[in-house]
Amino acid sequence: MNLLTAMERLHTRRPELRLEFPIAERHLAAGEVERARATCEAGLAAKPGYYQLHLTLGKIAQHEGRVADAITAFERVLQASPENRLAAKHLLPLLLQTGRGREVPSLLSRFPDLAVGAPASPARRAARADTRPTPPLPAPTRLPTASGALPRPFVNPTVAELYCSQGHPDKAAAIYEELLRIRPHDAAIRARLSALRDEAGPQSVETR
């Protein structure tokens, strides 16, 4: 059973959990746009305040060329979560594209690192300057059960996707790094980690 199937089964049993966003994102990453859209729409119908789903809907609209809808979706994310860097990153070029450049300075004042040519933050500069291989993570704390060892409670895809939805792909990648150490043959985890590394850029993973 892959990770997506496991999350969908868990969501069926526990619909109150906020699993729609990671499920929709995985469908979108796999090119299953309609399934991603349906997941988002159903999630928002059941949980209107689930703002992260607007991020996925914005990506879909952007991919389909519906620029106005994409802008609306990303703005909804920023209204609910003003520090959401990922939404701002998607919104910025759309504002420029649609002649709303006068709004860009305000956005960049909140996210100065998104400006073209802006100096990297100290953490990013340090990560890029350090070309040494990232040391392996320590073995995760495990809880013995009848079916074997499990990772500690907060090392799981749901927490990782929550970090991602808040604009912290580097933190999400750190969790998937540890999950991959636990399940090294899981292709879904490996693919998601690769996508997050591309999104986060070359950053070191902090040992928690």
Two tokens, residue 44:
């928002």
List the chain residues with pLDDT less than 70.
1, 116-154, 165, 199-208
CA torsion through residues 61, 65, 71, 74, sign = positive
Q: Where are the domains of the chain?
A: 3-119, 123-200
Burial class, 133, CB count within 10 angstroms (exposed 0-12 / middle 13-18 / buried 19+): exposed
pLDDT of residue 21: 93
Which residue, 42, 44, 64, is CA-closest to 54?
A: 44
CATH code, residues 123-200: 1.25.40
Other beta carbons within 10 Å of 160: 27
CATH code, residues 3-119: 1.25.40.10
pLDDT of residue 142: 39
């703005």: which residue's tokens? 75
pLDDT of residue 187: 79
pLDDT of residue 51: 94
Residue-wise pLDDT for 140-169, tens only, equals: 333 333 333 344 556 777 777 777 767 788
- Same CATH fold, 123-200 and 3-119? yes
Which residue, 207, 197, 93, is CA-closest to 139?
A: 207
Would you say the pTM of this structure is higher than 0.75?
A: no
